[in-house]
């Protein structure tokens, strides 16, 4: 229970940082990501807050997928009793 509360508080803190960044960076910027290839020639022109949110969302989804994928072990767990 305490772990869930801590995770919720941490998530709210991260959302607050995103809100703060969005409020203080309304100007448009050019985003280049040369590894992707096409953004090196034609950069994405959007507000800094939107780009920050998009990068955060991609990282959150990747972390969720990696965390959810590590839970399956293929068998039932034994809780101290061997049968």
Residue 35 has a CB neighbour count (10 Å cut-off) of 6
pLDDT of 66: 83
- At 26-66, the pLDDT tens digits run 888 888 888 877 777 888 888 888 888 888 888 888 888 88
The pLDDT confidence band at residue 7, using thresholds 50, 70 and 90, is confident
* Of 53, 40, 50, the residue nearest 14 (C-alpha): 53
pLDDT of 70: 60
């Amino acid at each position: 229970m305490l772990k869930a509360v801590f995770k919720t508080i941490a998530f709210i803190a991260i959302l607050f940082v995103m809100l703060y960044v969005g409020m203080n960076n309304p100007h448009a910027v050019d985003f280049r990501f040369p590894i992707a290839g096409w953004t090196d020639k034609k950069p994405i022109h959007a507000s800094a807050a939107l780009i920050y949110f998009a990068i955060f969302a991609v990282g959150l989804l990747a972390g969720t997928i990696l965390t959810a994928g590590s839970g399956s072990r293929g068998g039932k767990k034994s809780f101290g009793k061997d049968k």
